[in-house]
Chains A and B, each alone.
Chain A
């Protein structure tokens, strides 16, 4: 048999030989099994729990239909927390795009020590947000905190930073943004470095420079990096949990909770697993819708030039 004939036969066998080919699918069975048990099944059973009045401990629970969802609509805390969640998401996204893009532009230029600067700016993103939260706490602590030291040295009196809910929410947004600003920065840096240089050169030959170059050439070419960074920051902000838990615990009252922390409070502290499950379903839908809108909307977005 010629080798060409053999190749053709093998190719045919590969295409037609059902057993040989489909047995290949055995490779993904372990992974799919783990995903089904620990992600898909909980997602479905969570939907089921959300229609019950389960307390999370007692084996007995009864079907209450849409009651949890109706309670949610009447729950003032829920609407406030949904608002907080939006602020965490949008606030972090805006701050991170401005700072991240700005830093990327500065650190893309040939300036001395830029590798060290990139490394330092990215460092906090690698630390656990919980640990980072305790570290940031030493800025805002009442008696010895760095911020109150500055306030008192300027002649003011110490401030309780986590007393006013609005201030607390703002602090959490800033802390989350600052910790992960390095992530946005490296996404934009990768975008700047991957830019089609011929377009940039052509534009500079045509006399584009400075701000004109930035608005008409650089920004439109950065659109993929922009989409990636915005989607990542927005979803990260909407899911926010760790920093809130360690900095305010969701308090005072319910005022700084996000959807994520409210789910855990409803389950473990208020022992209302049915309600917590319903909140989980809402959070899941929220993220799914936002992801979908972002991916379709931002992909279509064309910069006006």
Chain B
């Protein structure tokens, strides 16, 4: 009997120790994930002549001027505005055109439409950089370099395949009797789509919106080459360019990096659940 209790005791000891080691491990992982943000905050508040470690926060004479310089010299606010313009346009276009395209592809399963669906799906695996040369020269030819519409159309093309795929899967699950009820009332396809189908697509639209807007907000490769004029540059190419110019003053570069990621961090704080659920729904398909 006594041996029984002691063994139970040691088992609970072991489980307590296991629990603690799990917490310690998770704590270390969380520190690793937060470390770059901490280092960026400390660096952003140091003047250029402060060569102390990024690990430690300066306690006096914080160099707030780094932030104003990142705005005035780095044009970070302009870049945030550009990112917002491009993100909103691409997301809207992707949702509207994606949902519209998915409707006939989900409802009218002719051989031709099946072929188009498969074709669109296969476009998803094209790496953007693999078509850099022809895409850039196309944009030069049609005057789309350093314009909003140029980058918006290119990024919309990049995001449409996944959006169409997600919308098609969703509409297939919407019963066709809804379409038929609309037809009985004499509505045409456009009315049926906009009045009956579209309102039902809210969940999948949330997924497409989150995946598209996060991707576009952070996009670098295409906007780096298509938007060389600082006036049009969104955050990623702007921060990269500014960072490469500021090797002697990392504080300004850190301030720029912080400001450019702040909008998405704030959005994440408030919409965290939607972000994670939306991403999972989008990836899993």
Contacts and interface: CB of A to CB of B under 8 A. Distances in A.
Interface string B114-142: 00100010010111111111111110000
Q: Name the residue among A39, A99, A129, A284 with the largest chain B CB count within 10 angstroms.
A: A39
A228 B283 contact: yes
Contacts of B105: 28
A281 B113 CA distance: 27
Given A24-B107, A146-B35, A245-B240, A186 B279 contact: yes
A146 B218 contact: no
A139 B131 contact: no
A135 B108 contact: no
Contacts of A46: 130-131, 133-134
A264 B101 CA distance: 33
Given A130-B240, A239-B129, A263-B129, A7 B184 contact: yes
B284 A187 contact: yes
Nearest to A44: B134
Q: Name the residue among A3, A32, A135 with the largest chain B CB count within 10 angstroms.
A: A135
Q: Is the interface of B mostly helix, strand, loop or mixed?
A: helix
Chain A interface size, as a band, is: 35 or more
A138 to B, nearest CB: 4
Nearest to A225: B284
Interface in A121-140: 121-124, 126-132, 134-139
Contact of A138 (B101, B103, B250): B250
B236 A131 contact: yes
Interface string B238-270: 011001000000100110010011001100100
B75 interface: no
Contacts, number: 279
A138 B33 contact: no
A131 B235 CA distance: 8
Interface in B157-181: 157-158, 160-161, 164, 180
Interface stretch (A73-81, A159-167, A200-208, A272-280): A272-280
B49 to A, nearest CB: 12
Interface residues of B, number: 91
Contact of B284 (A10, A39, A143, A190): A190
B205 interface: no
A183 B98 contact: no
B193 interface: yes
B11 interface: no
B44 to A, nearest CB: 10
B134 A45 contact: yes
A187 B75 CA distance: 37
Interface in A192-243: 228, 232, 235, 238-239, 241-242
Interface string B192-226: 01000000000000000000001001111100010
Given A30-B100, A43-B131, A146 B55 contact: yes
A134 B54 contact: no
B16 interface: no
Nearest to B36: A135
B158 to A, nearest CB: 8
B6 interface: no
Contact of B133 (A21, A128, A280): A280
B129 A128 contact: no
A277 B138 CA distance: 13
Nearest to B46: A144
A51 interface: no
A128 B217 contact: yes
A259 B43 CA distance: 33
A223 B180 CA distance: 39
A258 to B, nearest CB: 9
Contacts of A31: 97-98, 100-101, 160, 164
B125 A235 contact: yes
Contacts of B130: 46, 263, 280-281, 283-284, 287
A299 interface: no
A246 interface: yes
Nearest to B30: A120
Contacts of A60: none
A225 to B, nearest CB: 8
B284 A117 contact: no
A25 interface: yes
A124 B38 CA distance: 13
A53 interface: no
Interface of A: 3, 6-7, 10-11, 14, 20-25, 27-28, 30-32, 34-35, 37-43, 45-46, 49, 56, 99, 103, 106-107, 109, 111, 117-124, 126-132, 134-139, 141, 143-146, 148-149, 178, 182-183, 186-187, 190, 228, 232, 235, 238-239, 241-242, 245-246, 259-260, 263-264, 267-268, 273, 276-277, 280-281, 283-284, 287-288, 291
Interface of B: 19, 22-23, 25-26, 29-30, 32-37, 39-40, 43, 51-55, 97-98, 100-105, 107-108, 113, 116, 120, 123, 125-138, 153-154, 156-158, 160-161, 164, 180, 183-184, 189, 193, 214, 217-221, 225, 235-237, 239-240, 243, 250, 253-254, 257, 260-261, 264-265, 268, 272, 275-276, 279-280, 283-284
